Structure 1
Amino acid sequence: MKISGQIKFVIKSCAIFSILSFGFSLTGFLFPDDSSIIGDPLIVSNPSLEHILGHVFFGMIAGVLSLRLKYVFLIGAFALLLDADHLLQFFNVEMISRMVHSVPFAIIIAVIMLYVFGKKDYRLAAISFSAIISHIAFDVWFAGQIYPGSTGGFPLFSPFTVEIIRFQGLDWLYLEILAIVIVGIIAILDRKISIKNHIEK
């Protein structure tokens, strides 16, 4: 793939990931009894450079075993772009935050990415899934640094349930390792499939 093609691939992937993240966050409106006005994310979440770069860094670490530089950078971007769900907060509406911080969404976005890019880019599907896991890992770690002993909570199985699942201590490490392992396993399998197809040709 030429450089121009690589750039288009990255832009298209990031655009789809962002749109899906924002779109899925709308499922929070399905639970009015559990909703609340969260407020301006620039005030409530108080995003910092450390927070932004941290998501990118955790994502890139998870993508190392993809063995492709473009995926390493792409998963870093995905891990950051997952927070596109915060855009709803600017409208000052009642909602449930972090709906995209969930396993069902990770599965959905992996499948959609696989479908959009020709049902062959398994590494893209893997990093799309793992970007969400690594994002959660950083959130848990970062919360522990700011508020020692605190727990990070997410509706991990939304939209099926908005029950908050809590993480604390070294849970962030186990989540990050999980993200790394998923990418590594898929990369190995993808390589074996490519070699097999090449030999058969």
Structure 2
Amino acid sequence: MDIKGKKIAILATNGFEQSELEVPRDRLKQAGATVDIVSLAPGEIKGWDQKDWGRPVKVDKTLDQAAASEYDAIVLPGGQINPDLLRLEPKALKFIKDIFDAKKIVAAVCHAPWLLIETGIAKGRKMTSYRSIKTDVANAGADWQDAEVVVDQGVITSRNPGDLEAFSAKIIEEVKEGRHLQRSAA
């Protein structure tokens, strides 16, 4: 699928799960999108690769330099550390919510649905996540489902790194569809 001309933000900080940033980034670029790694500070962020620190990834823009209006979608990698740090950052939460409120695509994998909980996006949605946060998702008012990928009006969630190909394909499909103008508020 071709999504040339589309621009996608991947919001992450130190401790992102390596594959959960790199696989979607690479698939989206292969499909023709421009992908920016957006983070809290300039320079590089370091991933977590299963059981130890992984490779650094260059930050393209800080949250202060990025505007939700520039992007067609946002991808939120998981890992335990990354979303836990980001959910404490008001600018990160505002960036996610601004993209959502513009009825653009929001995609979260593994533990990143914590960010959808924190922004209020989870409430009333069908979602999945890594199983250890299933209760968190359900307690936030979402309908947690045991599926590799769940889509609810342009909000895409996925369980774990084993589902990244399906997750990436669904992001491409949804970005190609465009805005979800009928999306109901969370």
Does TM, normalized by the shorter one, top 0.5? no
- Look at both structures and tell me which one has the larger radius of gyration over its CA atoms: 1
Q: TM-score, normalised by structure 2?
A: 0.29
Q: TM-score, normalised by structure 1?
A: 0.28
